[in-house]
């Protein structure tokens, strides 16, 4: 079988949630199925780290598709030609974009459709593209996969796709995320927070991640408790986020906020593992990989009570309302003050994390690929 894959988001040193999904699942699938030919379609020079096995054949398709006009050119002009010339039997798209100009069976992986509910999370032309084309992609897809039951129901209800045509393939976490020893925690605190205790946020500084709300909650937490606890923010800005910048400028305790930039798993493990808690309060999330990564590091979790996060976290997180700063502040006070609560969240996280792994994800995604070609499977 000739399996064509959209691998535009495999960017060395710049993998985000969808990028990690692509990396972890394709690595396992390609290696587990050596008799099949996998054609990886990149939009720029690629790293050999992403050519996982001898049955992976890379292609570079121009133009580099990083804004709506170029997305259209890549998917509607460059992609259909190469799908036809290479004899592809199926097209798999981990970021959900499809070619409306190709009749090859296609599997679209839609992680979430936040842009249908909160278009204000995105720049003007991006939101126009998403809201125009993604309903068409969903209708065009031979089959859809997504990363939570929440997203499956949302896609089905919003786009009118029968739920039986949508497969849930939960995300996983890298095996690198493991608990730290006591000595490692001390060293991590010294390295990243001047030896102080700290909360952590990990993710892109996208508007929907509600980092501005987290900053406001942290300011209130500091004023009310007086505790010498830092806030470590791991990630990089996306799409412009003026509200976050304005919020940061007016904070009294901004000197206690530490920005690390993007981090690779080997370093992120250290920052997770030494934190008092992850505070992850997005307005909209298809899965929420940092929640699972934190559980794997024995780090307590404070999470949003919206969209997919209660489904992923189960009883292993303290859920708060991301739209209510008071709710977030009280969660931070409770977790920082109550050692027994932290122990309880860690113990529940150890149980919860066993439900998710990239091996499971890859196996389920392979079943989706098979069902895309043969719905009776």
Tell me the pLDDT of the chain averaged across its residues: 96
Residue 203 clears pLDDT 80, i.e. is over it: yes
Helix (H) or strand (E) holding 156: helix 149-159
Residue 245 clears pLDDT 80, i.e. is over it: yes
Instruction: DSSP letter for 99, please.
Output: -
Residue 148 has a pLDDT of: 98
> Which pTM does this prediction carry?
0.94
Condensed to tens digits (0 to 9), the pLDDT of residues 50-68 reads 999 999 999 999 999 989 9
Residue 377 clears pLDDT 80, i.e. is over it: no
**Which domains can be identified in the chain, with CATH numbers?**
2-172+358-373 (3.40.50.2000), 182-355 (3.40.50.2000)
Provide CB contacts within 8 A for 211, sequence distance 6+: 201, 205, 233, 241, 244
Residue 296 has a pLDDT of: 98
| 223-239: average pLDDT | 90
Residue 222 clears pLDDT 80, i.e. is over it: yes
For 61-93, b/e burial (b = at least 16 CB within 10 A) is beeebeebeebeebbeebbbeebeeeebbbbbb
Residue 239 clears pLDDT 60, i.e. is over it: no
Condensed to tens digits (0 to 9), the pLDDT of residues 286-331 reads 999 999 999 999 999 999 999 999 999 999 999 999 999 999 999 9
Residue 39 has a pLDDT of: 98
Condensed to tens digits (0 to 9), the pLDDT of residues 81-134 reads 999 999 999 999 999 999 999 999 999 999 999 999 999 999 999 999 999 999
Residue 238 has a pLDDT of: 59
Residue 183: band (very low, low, confident or very high) from pLDDT cuts 50, 70, 90: very high
Residue 243 has a pLDDT of: 83
């Amino acid at each position: 079988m000739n399996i064509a894959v959209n691998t535009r988001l495999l960017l060395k040193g710049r993998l985000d949630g969808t990028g990690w999904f692509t990396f972890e699942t394709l690595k396992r699938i390609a290696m587990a199925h050596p008799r099949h030919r996998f054609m990886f379609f990149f939009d720029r020079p690629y790293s050999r780290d992403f050519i996982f096995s001898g049955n992976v054949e890379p292609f570079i398709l121009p133009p580099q598709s990083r804004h709506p006009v170029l997305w259209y050119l890549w998917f509607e002009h460059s992609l259909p030609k190469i799908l036809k010339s290479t004899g592809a039997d199926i097209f798999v798209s981990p970021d959900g974009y499809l070619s409306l100009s190709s009749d090859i069976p296609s599997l679209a992986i839609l992680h979430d459709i936040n842009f249908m509910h909160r278009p204000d999370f995105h720049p003007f032309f991006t939101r126009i593209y998403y809201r125009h084309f993604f309903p068409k992609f969903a209708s065009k897809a031979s089959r859809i996969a997504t990363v939570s039951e929440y997203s499956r129901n949302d896609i089905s209800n919003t786009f009118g796709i029968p739920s039986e045509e949508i497969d849930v393939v939960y995300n996983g976490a890298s095996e690198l995320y493991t608990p730290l020893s006591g000595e490692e925690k001390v060293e991590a605190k010294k390295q990243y927070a001047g030896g102080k205790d700290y909360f952590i946020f990990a993710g892109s500084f996208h508007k929907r991640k509600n980092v501005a709300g987290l900053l406001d909650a942290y300011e209130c937490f500091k004023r009310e408790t007086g505790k010498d606890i830092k806030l470590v923010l791991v990630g990089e800005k996306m799409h412009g986020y003026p509200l976050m910048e304005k919020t940061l400028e007016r904070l009294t305790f901004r000197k206690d906020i530490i920005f690390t930039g993007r981090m690779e798993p080997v370093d992120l493990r250290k920052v997770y593992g030494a934190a008092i808690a992850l505070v992850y309060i997005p307005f909209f999330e298809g899965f929420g990989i940092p929640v699972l990564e934190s559980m794997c590091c024995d780090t307590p979790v404070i999470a949003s009570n919206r969209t997919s996060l209660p489904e992923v976290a189960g009883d292993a997180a303290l859920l708060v309302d991301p739209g209510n700063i008071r709710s977030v502040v009280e969660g931070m006070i409770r977790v920082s003050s109550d050692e027994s609560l932290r122990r309880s969240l860690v113990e529940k996280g150890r149980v919860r994390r066993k439900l998710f792994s990239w091996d499971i994800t890859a196996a389920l995604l392979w079943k989706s690929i098979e069902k895309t070609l043969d719905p009776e499977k």
